[in-house]
Chain A
C-alpha cells in the first residue's frame, strides 16, 4: 500500500446495509483527487408496486426493509389515507395515537440498536483499536450489562410493534383511513409494569442513562467529536405547527448551515414543488435538493442531528431539557458536527420513551377508532420522520384503485450528498498524502458513513443484503489497495 497513484475502495462498509462502494482516487503524489460513495445495485420497487390495489401499499412496502418496515408502513398508510379520502387531521384521534405509539416504538428500537450495536464498538474501544477488538462481539464480552440493556431496549420497541401489529413482521396496524385494531387494557398494562419486558418507566431511566453516557463521552473526547467529519450543510426535518420536534406528522422545515430558513414549514402536498432529485452516472442513488437553491447548494442532512437542528423544542420535559443543552453547545447555531448525531439520536431515544409513556397512560388509546367514510382521491403523499430521517411516499391511483405511479424518497437518499461530503472529509483530512493506508484510516471512512446509519436497501428500493466496498485506485484507474469485510 505504499505506492502513490492509488485509489482506495471499501467493500463492504461494515455495519451498514446495502451494496455500495467508496472510492478514493489519488493522484501521482498521493494527494486525494476525488472521493465518492456509490450505490451499485438497483431493483425498482417503485415499478414493482404499479398495478397493485392501493390498499395493499402499506403491506407491500414493509418488504422494502426488514429494519424499518414500520416506517414504510406508516408513510405509505398516510399517503393511502388520502387516496381513501382522509387527511391526517381527520383520522380518528385514537387511530392517530395508535400509529404514533407504533412509530415511537419503531424509532426507539432502531436508535437503540444503532447506538448499542453499531456505534458502541467505536466509542468504547476507540477508532484505532485492533479490528478484532472493535466489534459488537467484543462489546458483549467486555460490557455484558450494556449489551443486555441494548437488547432489552430494542425488545421493548419490538414488543410495542408486536402488540399493535399482531406480529413483528408483516403485521398490520394502519389501514386506509384508520387502524386495524387498538389495545385492550391488558395489552396496554403489560408495558406499564416490569415483567419479562421491563416497564416504560425503566425505559425512560435507561434512556436518561444513555444520554448521560454520551455527554460524559463528549466531555472526554470533544476534540475528536467536534472536528471529525464536520462540514457545513443544510438540515431538513418535520416540525409541528409550534416548531416542536415531530416524527409522525408535521410540516417540512429546512435551514442552512448558518441557521437561515430555506424551507418554511411547507405542507407535504407541496414537496414536489420544492424538491428535485439529481442523478450521477456513477451511482444509482439519487441526490435530492431544494430546487430554489439548486443542486450544488440545496442538499440537506436528515436524521436525528438535522431534526434537532430544525426544531425549536420537544414536547416531553426530559428530552426538551436535553435539547436545550444540545443547542447551547453550539450557542444556538446549527450543529454541523457529524459525530454529534449519536448525541442527537440518544436525545430522541429519551423523547420516544417519554412519548410512549404519555400515550400508554392516555385512557383514550383504548377507544374504538372508527373509520371515516371513503371519499376516493387520485393521489396521496405521506411524509414521516423515519429513524434515519425524512421519508416520503407518493402514490397515484387510477379509477379502479390500481397504483399507477409510485415515488419514494427515503432518508438515506436525502443523506446521499452528506455522506459523500463525509467521505470527502475523511479522504482529505485522514488519507490525503499518507504513504501508508492503515486499517484504522479506512475504518474512519466507515465511521463517517455509519453516523448516518444508511440503509442502502431502502435507498435503492431494492431488498435484502447488499455489501459495500472501499478501494484505492491509482491515477490510471488500477486498484492498488482494497478493503473488504464480508457482511454475511
Chain B
C-alpha cells in the first residue's frame, strides 16, 4: 500500500519570520521563509517582521494556526527547536520587542481567538552587520527545513 504524503498546512496557517537579514544570523527567520516559498510547494501566507507588533494579533486571530520562526542565540541540541507557544500575559513589552506569547495573549483578550501556535527556533552564531548567514547557521537552517518538511508541512499519519 502506497503511503500518500500530502501538505497539511493550508491557507489558514500563517508563518511569521522574525529577524533582520542585515544582521547575519538574525536573518534566519527570513531565510527560512525564502527557502520554504522558493523550494517547496508551500502556499500558505507568510509575513516578514523585524519583530512582532501588537497589530499582528488581529491578523493571527483570523487564522487557524500560526508558526513563528526566529533565530536563537543560545545552544540548541541539533541546531533547532520546535515548541508549542502558549498565550501568556506575563511578558515585558517594548516598542521593539513583543514575544510570541504576548501576541497570542492579545489574540485571546482582544479578539477572542487563540489559534494553535508553535515556534521554530533556529540557532545562530553571528549577529554583526552582514547580509549573509554564518556557515553554522546555514547548516542549522538546513536541519530545521528538513524537520519542517518531513514533520510539519508534509505529514503522514501523526500530528506534531
Binding site for B on A (CB under 8 A): 14-17, 43-45, 48, 60, 63, 65-67, 69, 110, 113-114, 116-118, 132, 135-138, 140-141, 144, 147-148, 150-152, 154-155, 158, 167, 169-170, 453, 455, 457, 463-465, 485-488
Contacts and interface: CB of A to CB of B under 8 A. Distances in A.
A157 to B, nearest CB: 10
Interface in B30-67: 48-51, 53-55, 57-58
Contacts of B127: 464
B105 A154 contact: no
B80 to A, nearest CB: 18
B94 A141 contact: no
Nearest to A387: B95
Interface in B106-153: 106, 109-110, 127-129
Contact of A463 (B55, B93, B102, B129): B129
Contacts of A116: 54
Contact of B48 (A63, A117, A169, A455): A169
A66 B89 contact: no
Contact of A63 (B23, B51, B57, B106): B23
B41 to A, nearest CB: 23
A137 B54 contact: no
Contacts, number: 118
The 9 A-B pairs with the shortest beta carbon distances in the complex, nearest first, are A66-B50, A137-B89, A63-B22, A17-B96, A48-B129, A140-B109, A155-B55, A136-B93, A15-B94
Nearest to A132: B90
Contacts of B157: none
Contacts of A464: 20, 23, 26, 127
Given A138-B89, A148-B110, A113 B96 contact: no
Interface residues of B, number: 32
**Which among A69, A167, A169 has the greatest number of chain B C-beta atoms within 10 A?**
A169
A158 B55 CA distance: 9
Contacts of B22: 60, 63, 463
Interface in B85-105: 89-97, 99, 102, 105
Contacts of A110: 95
A463 B25 CA distance: 13
Contacts of A48: 129
Nearest to B96: A17
Contact of A66 (B90, B93, B96): B96
Contact of A15 (B48, B95, B106): B95
Contact of B54 (A150, A169, A463): A150
Nearest to A144: B110
A45 B128 CA distance: 10
A140 B105 contact: yes
Contacts of A43: 128-129
A137 B105 contact: yes
Nearest to A147: B110
Contacts of B97: 17, 465, 487-488
20 contacts: A14-B92, A65-B50, A66-B50, A113-B54, A117-B54, A117-B93, A117-B95, A135-B91, A135-B93, A140-B89, A141-B109, A151-B54, A154-B53, A154-B55, A158-B53, A463-B129, A464-B26, A465-B51, A487-B97, A488-B92
Contacts of B21: 63
B128 to A, nearest CB: 7
Given A43-B129, A463-B20, A463-B23, A67 B109 contact: no
Contacts of B55: 151-152, 154-155, 158
Contacts of B128: 43
Nearest to B56: A151
**Which among B99, B102, B110 has the greatest number of chain A C-beta atoms within 10 A?**
B110
B57 A485 contact: no
Nearest to B112: A144
Contacts of B91: 135, 137
A43 B96 CA distance: 18
B90 A137 contact: yes
A486 B92 contact: yes
A66 B20 contact: yes
A457 to B, nearest CB: 7
Nearest to B90: A137
**Which among B26, B95, B110 has the greatest number of chain A C-beta atoms within 10 A?**
B95
Contact of B20 (A16, A17, A63, A453): A63
Contacts of A114: 95
Nearest to A486: B92
A457 B110 CA distance: 30
Nearest to A169: B48
Given A137-B109, A169-B48, A488-B92, 15 more contacts: A15-B94, A17-B97, A66-B51, A67-B96, A113-B54, A135-B89, A135-B91, A137-B105, A141-B89, A148-B110, A151-B110, A158-B53, A457-B96, A465-B97, A486-B92
B106 A140 contact: yes
A201 to B, nearest CB: 20
A487 B106 contact: no
